[in-house]
Amino acid sequence: MSQAETRVPARTRKPPAKPSDPAGRRFPIVYRRLKREYPNAKCALNFSNPHEMLFATILSAQCTDAMVNKVTERLFAKYPTLEDYAAADPVELQQEIRATGFFRQKAKNLQATARKLLDEFGGEVPETMEELTTLPGAARKTANIVLGNSFGKVVGIAVDTHVRRLSQRLGLTCNEDPVKIEKDLMDLVPKDRWFELSYLFIEHGRAVCKAPVPRCGECVLADICPSARV
């Protein structure tokens, strides 16, 4: 077994990885194995234009993509334009998205975002991180997802709950804050893999590296994972 694949005691938490550190040498192995395991990893949210991508991502907070897709199938048909959201009855809109959780705040964010896009951006979803993160309900994770999937622009790494969990368990970060985790990953991972990384981690998080109990016995990374319980 190579030095990069030497087993580290379970639950060990390391400082943010640098390319010269064990985690920096470990990442290429992580990437190759996950790429082989999930060759078609991609965004699971359904959308047909940038504002649908944006709204679906806002709705996905604390909700599964499968549930969001179920809700947006009806939502996008009922409210096809930004003007429809801006003019919607708030209570009716809340009921349409109720199944996604936190529906009152999400409905408020959808309407406020629709109005801001109409008033300040000419009815178009902006194409920069700086502008997207001014929209209600859109932090860096949402902005990264929208930029990558709608415009093919990769300026960072989308850190959702799966990416956060795997990054910590694999010893790629010791941070809790998503913005700091994103920076740790950006320092470690080649830029041409930033976009794909999120979806590889999401797929593995859903299938194997679950919360709260991971299925380490089924994990293709168990022999190099510092947190493996095998």
Cβ-proximal residues to 30 (8 Å cutoff; 6+ apart), any chain:
170, 221, 224
Compute the distance between CA of residue 41 and CA of residue 158 in angstroms, rounded to an integer: 14
SS3 138: coil
SS3 10: coil
Give the pLDDT score at 68. Answer: 98
What are the residue boundaries of the structural domains of the chain, listed by start? 3-42+156-218, 50-151
Give the pLDDT score at 230. Answer: 65
Q: Please, are residues 137 and 109 in contact by the beta-carbon 8 Å criterion?
A: yes
Sites in the chain below the pLDDT cut of 50: 1-20
Domains 3-42+156-218 and 50-151 in one fold: no
Give the pLDDT score at 21. Answer: 58
Instruction: Out of 3.40.50.10090, 1.10.10.10, 3.40.50.150, 1.10.1670.10, select the CATH number for domain 3-42+156-218.
Output: 1.10.1670.10
- Encode pLDDT of 164-190 as tens digits: 999 999 999 999 999 999 999 999 999
Q: Which residues are designated catalytic?
A: 141, 160
What tokens does 222 get?
A: 């168990």
Taking alpha carbons only, the member of 184, 149, 165, 189 closest to residue 42 is 149
Give the pLDDT score at 25. Answer: 83
Give the pLDDT score at 143. Answer: 98
Give the pLDDT score at 62. Answer: 93
Give the pLDDT score at 15. Answer: 42
CATH fold of the domain at 50-151: Endonuclease III; domain 1 (1.10.340)
